[in-house]
Structure 1
Amino acid sequence: MAYQQPALPWAENALEPHISAKTIGFHYGKHHAAYVTNFNNLVGGTEMDSMTIEEVIAATAADASKAGVFNNGAQAWNHSFYWNCLSPDGGGKPAGELLLAIEKDFGGYDKFREELKNAAATQFGSGWAWLVLDGETLKVVKTANAETPMTKGLKPILTIDVWEHAYYLDYQNRRPDYTAALIDNLLNWKFAEENYKAAR
């Protein structure tokens, strides 16, 4: 039951000028595709072959002997989630219930924006910055490498990929500029609100 790499929700050039078609081509077509291929090769013919990718991630997260399965599975899942967090019609502020929750839990949208930007900028090395639901409370967290908040019982609402392959062709070492461009112009708040409503 191989995991299928989902199609991008927009054309490769749809996020320009903030993220180039060249970056998306490498990121989706090479990096994400490789995680999917490696994951399927590792679980094929094993007892994990009949499990969902989320079940495999949960089952292998704390097992050092299954690090390869976890890393490729979590990266495949994280990237599939990340693409949906971006939209050519994104950016700005969220609306409705999610905005109210952000204002309550962070003390305002601007404070949330700064916390998300800071998490993305200060994640040492490769990783992810996330907006998650922890019980009834929204929080910003960061994870290293392939780690995902799901393994800590947190529910992902939105993420920003801060691996170098996500931004280096366009921004070189200017990760904060990439993060600001994403938050202000590309974050898909409709997707985030759907995740928030489903997670509650």
Structure 2
Amino acid sequence: MLAITSRALKTSAAVKSFRPLTAIRTKVTLPDLPYEYDALEPHISGEIMKIHHSKHHQTYVNAFNAAEEKLQNAFQANNLTEQLAIQNAIKFNGGGHINHSLFWQNLAPKGQGGGNLTKGALSSAIDKEFGSFDNFVTKFNAAAAGVQGSGWAWLGYNKEAKRLEIATTANQDPLLALVPLLGVDVWEHAYYLQYKNVRPDYLKAIWEVINWETVAERFAKAQ
């Protein structure tokens, strides 16, 4: 009994001496667009781009920074319950920031790379995996149209299998299982003002302004 009590006292002392590592706060900012709000017209209206970037993305930035501050305070207060409670806000808003930051880079005006996939390693990989570029677009759009509610459609690279894959994520979940190369936002705020509830029309139009140079660069780095 004495031995058990001693072990219990040692365990108790170890627990009391444990303190969680102090969180290093990550603060994010809204990135500038590499083009004007109306530069993607007529495929994506300037009004949509302005609201999407300056309102929706800014909201994710603000909410993430607020959640990170709360998390820092929870760490300092050694409040594990509060630390856990904040995780969903960090995941949702942090994912929103990550996804949108890539989304803006994945777009470009016509004449500045938008919609123009040139011959190269990426186009060859698309042909190898999906048969042709047209087949890829058809499969990607089917996956994107099939997202229930809000979410994202992705072209990603599987580093283990060394192949391109199409994937979807719900809400603002970032793509973690694959290296994200191309992400298309299929939340209604990305298209409703222009395309109403007809998501397939938006998906058809967005290929005219996909920045394939950026996608190809990410593909090269992923390999």
Instruction: Verify same fold: TM over 0.5.
Output: yes
- Point out where structure 2 has 5 or more consecutive residues left out of the alignment: 1-25, 74-83
Q: Deviations over 1:150-172 (max 9, x none)?
A: 2x2x1000011000000000000
- Point out where structure 1 has 5 or more consecutive residues left out of the alignment: 49-62
Shift of 1:106: 1.0
Q: Deviations over 1:121-156 (max 9, x none)?
A: 111110001000012110111111011212x2x100
TM-score between the two structures when normalised by the length of structure 2: 0.78
SS of residue in 2 equivalent to 1:143 = strand
| Structure 1 CA distance for aligned equivalents of residues 132 and 50 of structure 2 | 36
Shift of 1:25: 1.1
Shift of 1:66: 0.9
Equivalenced residues, count = 183
- What's the C-alpha RMSD, in Å, of the aligned pairs? 1.6
| Structure 1 CA distance for aligned equivalents of residues 220 and 37 of structure 2 | 29
Give the 3 Å change call, closer, same or farther, for CA 175–64 of structure 1 in structure 2: farther
Shift of 1:47: 5.0
TM-score between the two structures when normalised by the length of structure 1: 0.87
Among candidates 161, 164, 183, match of residue 138 of structure 1: 164
The equivalent of 2:96 in structure 1 is: 75
Among candidates 95, 101, 126, match of residue 150 of structure 2: 126
| Structure 1 CA distance for aligned equivalents of residues 116 and 214 of structure 2 | 14
| Structure 1 CA distance for aligned equivalents of residues 33 and 149 of structure 2 | 26
The equivalent of 1:100 in structure 2 is: 124
Structure showing greater radius of gyration is 2
The equivalent of 1:174 in structure 2 is: 198
SS of residue in 2 equivalent to 1:28 = helix
SS of residue in 2 equivalent to 1:13 = helix
| Off by >6 Å, runs of 4+ in structure 1 | none
| Structure 1 CA distance for aligned equivalents of residues 173 and 186 of structure 2 | 12
SS of residue in 1 equivalent to 2:38 = coil
| Structure 2 CA distance for aligned equivalents of residues 64 and 168 of structure 1 | 32
Question: Which residue type is aligned with residue 97 of structure 1?
Answer: A
Among candidates 10, 14, 21, match of residue 39 of structure 2: 14
SS of residue in 2 equivalent to 1:159 = strand
The equivalent of 2:12 in structure 1 is: none
Question: Which residue type is aligned with residue 98 of structure 2?
Answer: W
Residue 93 of structure 1 contacts residue 109 of structure 1 at CA under 8 Å; is this kept in 2? no
SS of residue in 1 equivalent to 2:169 = strand
Structure of greater relative contact order (alpha carbons < 8 Å, 6+ residues apart):
1
Question: Which residue type is aligned with residue 210 of structure 2?
Answer: L
The equivalent of 1:188 in structure 2 is: 211
